[in-house]
Structure formats: C-alpha cells, structure tokens
Structure 1
C-alpha cells in the first residue's frame, strides 16, 4: 500500500490467472459487485471494455453529490490482461482530474498481483477539492474492493 497527498495504491495477490481477473474488471456490469465504497449502484449504459476511448455510465449515490447521480467513465488505459484505467466525471461533463488505474502482474498461470490506484493528482479545481474532500474513497474501501474482486474471480 502506498499513500500520498494525491493518490492511494493498494495491492493484493489473487489466486487466478491475469486473464480471469481482467475478464471481471473489463466488464462494467460487474463493477457494482466489486465496489467497496458503497457509491456504485448499477450500470446505466456500457459494454465490455475493449479499448481506450470507450465510455460507460454508472448510477451512483453519495451525500457528497446530494444523493443519486450518474458518472461518465472515460477509458484512458487498456492493455489486455495487464492494465485498465478510466477517468470519472459527473454525467455530461469532462473528467475533472481523478483516475482509477488497475495494473495486473502475472505471478504464473494461476496467480496475479493486482494493484489498484485511485489518483486525484489531476484535480486542479480548488472548489471541487473542497467539496469532494479527497480522498473520497478511503484506503480501507479500496482494500475491500480488492477483496471483492478476489471473491468475484475465485468464488471464495
């Protein structure tokens, strides 16, 4: 685990191949099952992630946004079985600077080191930084997300 003033990184080894882990991560329909923050409610619109430049829309909830809201997720990184990343923005707006990055390192045919980074270093709007109170998602919630990913991939 690494923490700085503008990002948090957590990691976990999952006893599954990197392609099995990537299969779950690249399917936005599965993200509600993985979310350790409690903000993600459902997928509104989107297909399996297959390339950078795609977008998917999630239904969310949180007091920081006054209850129910939607976000556009702009896929910024895609390397099958190795990396997937997206920047999140309130529905219909450009991403204001935070990104979710998933890195997968194969540890053999049945083990993968998964690293998740929540990076808000690109947020420059001081009003937004104050309103959201970064980090909005805490280290423990990110660790819970990795545990949920482990369960989704391995069934245990």
Structure 2
C-alpha cells in the first residue's frame, strides 16, 4: 500500500482503495465514464486502447466492450453499467458477475475522494475468484490506478 492510497473496508468479498485527487469530481467522473479512456486509468496493464466499443459517456444499462490482454493472450470483455449517478458513482458488471465500482466524493477544498472497488460477492463462485488470486491481484491494480490518477492531477 502507498502513502496516497488507503484500503477501505466496504464489506466481505470486496476490495476497495481510496485516494484524494486534486481534481473536481465532475472531471474525474467524465474520465471514468468514458470506456474509450479506460486504458489511461488502468494500473493493471491489461486494458488496451484499440477497438473499444460503446458510448463515450456511459449511463445505466449501457454496454461497452474493451479489448484486454493478460498473460500474453488478447481477449475482449463486454460489461453492462449497473449504477450511474452523475459525478458521484459509476459501476459496471463483468460477464463473470463481478462488479467494478467508482465513487467520487467532492471535498470543500476542490479535491475529490475517489474510491475504486472490485466486488466479487456477486459472482456465482466467489471462492473461485479468491482461489485464483483475483482479490490480491486486483488490489495491486487498483492501488496502481489510483496512484497514477493522483500523480496525473498533481502535475497540473
């Protein structure tokens, strides 16, 4: 864990990390709500830029497809947006049932608390996710994502 990113307890079978970013919530939400920009955010190194399919501004019910690469193998993931509150929250469901959730809390000083969550409580086999090491792997990716987001806006 880094000094800028903290672990947050959001419940069983959820991996959450939080950081304070020197940017308004609306700007950060716009970045995350555009799947064509997800490669800019990805701390895991698995999301690819090319051939993203879907709207540039996600809303509840939207589908989007992002090319990925893991262990040298390319594949595509089509997710469905399950929750969306403008400038506050966006969440999508992966085909395996787990969810990725981003929450944005605007602070009075103009900065934003950003919480990213990998929620595998909604999969058919959460024990398998744990056995395969996804919680630990995704914790590292989320931490790297938030560290990069903090650094990106600190430089402005």
* TM-score bracket, shorter-length normalisation: 0.7 to 0.9
Q: Indicate the structure with greater strand content.
A: 1
Once structures 1 and 2 are overlaid, which stretch shifts more, 136-145 or 34-43?
136-145
Once structures 1 and 2 are overlaid, which stretch shifts more, 132-141 or 115-124?
132-141
Residues 144 and 121 (structure 1), Cα distance of their counterparts in 2 relative to 1, 3 Å cut: same
Alignment TM-score, normalising by the size of structure 2? 0.82
Which ranges in structure 2 are unaligned for 5 or more consecutive residues?
1-6
Instruction: Quote the RMSD (CA, aligned, Å).
Output: 2.4
- Which of 51, 73, 84 aligns to 1:67? It is 73
Corresponding residue for residue 32 of structure 1:
39
Look up the SS of the partner of 1:137 in the other structure: helix
Once structures 1 and 2 are overlaid, which stretch shifts more, 140-149 or 7-16?
140-149
1:30-88 deviation digits (Å, cap 9, x = unpaired): 1101101111112521112342000110000113xx71100001101100000000011
Q: How many residues align?
A: 148
Which ranges in structure 1 are unaligned for 5 or more consecutive residues?
90-95
Q: Do the aligned residues in 2 keep the contact of 1:17 with 1:109 (CA within 8 Å)?
A: no
Residues 62 and 50 (structure 1), Cα distance of their counterparts in 2 relative to 1, 3 Å cut: closer
Task: Kindly report which structure 2 residues correspond to 1:53-132, keeping only aligned pairs within 5 A, or say none.
Answer: 53-63=61-71, 67-89=73-95, 96-108=96-108, 110-125=110-125, 129=129, 132=132
Look up the SS of the partner of 2:59 in the other structure: coil
Residues 141 and 81 (structure 1), Cα distance of their counterparts in 2 relative to 1, 3 Å cut: same
Alignment TM-score, normalising by the size of structure 1? 0.82
Corresponding residue for residue 23 of structure 2:
16
Corresponding residue for residue 93 of structure 1:
none
Residues 99 and 24 (structure 1), Cα distance of their counterparts in 2 relative to 1, 3 Å cut: same
